[in-house]
Structures are given as structure tokens and as C-alpha cells.
Amino acid sequence: MTKTVLVTGAKGQLGCELTKVFTQHSEFNFIPTDIDTLDLTNKKEVIHFVKKHKIDYIINCAAYTAVDKAEEEIDLCYLINRDAVKNIVEAAAARGKAKIIHISTNYVFDGVKNTPYIETDITNPQSVYGKSKLEGENTLMKNCPESIIIRTSWLYSIYGYNFVKKILRLIKEKSEINVVCDQIGTPTFAPDLANTILVLITFLKKTKNFHSGIFHYSNEGIVSWFDFAKKILQLSETKNCKIRPITTEQYPIRAKRPFYSALNKKKIKKAFDIVIPNWEVSLKKCINLLTNKS
């Protein structure tokens, strides 16, 4: 039986990749939406949409992700990252059978650990963005515990605005750039996460066993922003730019970032029997796509 999958935030990086993945699988009726087709802050509209289209799965990729700007636009950040989640929950309840997969962030942690965060580690977000995403998580788990939350980190793809595309642009324009070396984590190639979400939903559809709860997903390996940038430079084969390491203190930003935010992926690998690519392998794929290499 064909299942109907709704994706919110479909014009974002992950949303674009999910669209590519799901439209290749006829066993799903795929409905991509964004702010122009579905306003998640309008509860009545969301409930009507989910009931009208008989949605079975809601993948919520919509989020306010401007981390520094969120320190000023606090109300808007919470409206999208917390209140809209409540509207999705109520729409799923009104539909009666819709399951929710919600995308969250490593920024719910404070970054004081020195080993990869597991799902049960204490959260302590340090920014408005992180706090709003945690409240979105709590809203979902409190009101609809039969849901899945996927925390991810350092997302990039060929779409939208991200670190990889920014570095590729800067190394062409400048002879020298500075990148922070004291923030440690793991990049996530959006197509890898999109394919994992397809695996999750296919697994749930076949087994009818919905593994609710929180899961962590990023590519394998651990790296600093500085070493990530150096690898981008190397793979781009650009020769006329140097990347210099600086500390976070030398790069003033409004929102505080976690110094260490690598994620432990054992839980999701075991639950769904998936293999996660190393970040360097996936980065090479992305740069090949962006630079039109075969």
C-alpha cells in the first residue's frame, strides 16, 4: 500500500535531497512543501493540509537556522523551531495515524564533553537557536512520544548556503582566509542523511515497528572547522590560497557555539542496520558535484 510522505522545509538543503530520493520510489506518494505552500505557524492550515492529503509520515526539515541572527530575532526563531512543531503534532493527532520524523541539531549540547555525545547525554544549549530547537524536541516528545528525532550537525550539500560552498567561494577570491580551529565536530552530507531517512521509513513501513525516540546522525569521523576547510581546499585543487587557524575568540560571533559537538551514531546504526560514510568520502562527492568533476 502506497504511503504518503509530507516533507516540510523542502527547499532547504535536506529537503531538496529528500525530494530527489523519494521521487525515485513509487511506493511513496511524496508531497514537498515550504513556506509558500504550507505555513507551519498556522495551526488550522497545517491540520487541514495533513487531513486533506491523508499524510502517513511527516518529515519536518523546516527550521530557523540563522544561528547568529536568532540572538536578535528570538520570537521568530521560537515560532518556527518550537511553536510550529506543536502545530505539526496537533495535525498528526487530528489525522490519527501520521508519524513524525523531526530534524534537530547538535547545538542542543554545550560542548564541554571530549567524547561523542550520545542521545541520553544532558542537554544544555548555549544559543537562542539551540534553546529553541531543544524546546521543539521537548514539545514533540511530550505531546507525541511515538515520534523520531534525528539530531545532526554541520549539514552541507550542493544546495543553499553552507560551509563547503562558502569556503570554495572564498579560496577563489582570496589569497588567505582564517578558520576557527578550536570547534570540533563532524560534517553531514545531506544526501547521506536523506538516504538514511528513506531507509528508516522503508524499515518502518515493512516492519510496522516504529522505533520512536532520539537518534544521532552525522558522517563518520571527527574534525575541526579548520581541518574541514583544509580538506575542501585540497579537494578543490586550488593552489593560490592559504588557510590559517584562529581561535573562536579571534572570530567574534553573536551566538555561542559548542566547542565539541561530535555525535555518537551507534544507536541509529544498530536500530536500522545502516552503514555511515566517512566525512572525507562524502565531502569528495560533494566537491565533485560542485566543480563538475566526473
The residues annotated with a catalytic role in the active site are 129
Q: How far apart are CA 181 and CA 248, in angstroms?
A: 8
Beta carbons within 8 Å of 188's beta carbon, 6+ residues apart: 152, 153, 154, 155, 156, 217, 218, 219
CA distance 136 to 133: 5
Nearest to 33 by CA among 88, 114, 104: 88
The residue behind cell 557555539 is 257
CA distance 73 to 59: 25
Report the amino acid identity of residue 43: K
Spatial separation of the C-alpha atoms in residues 265 and 218, rounded to whole Å = 7
Distance CA 228, CA 164 (A): 9
Residues near 249 by Cβ (< 8 Å), separated by ≥ 6? none
- Which helix (H) or strand (E) segment holds residue 59: the answer is strand 57-60
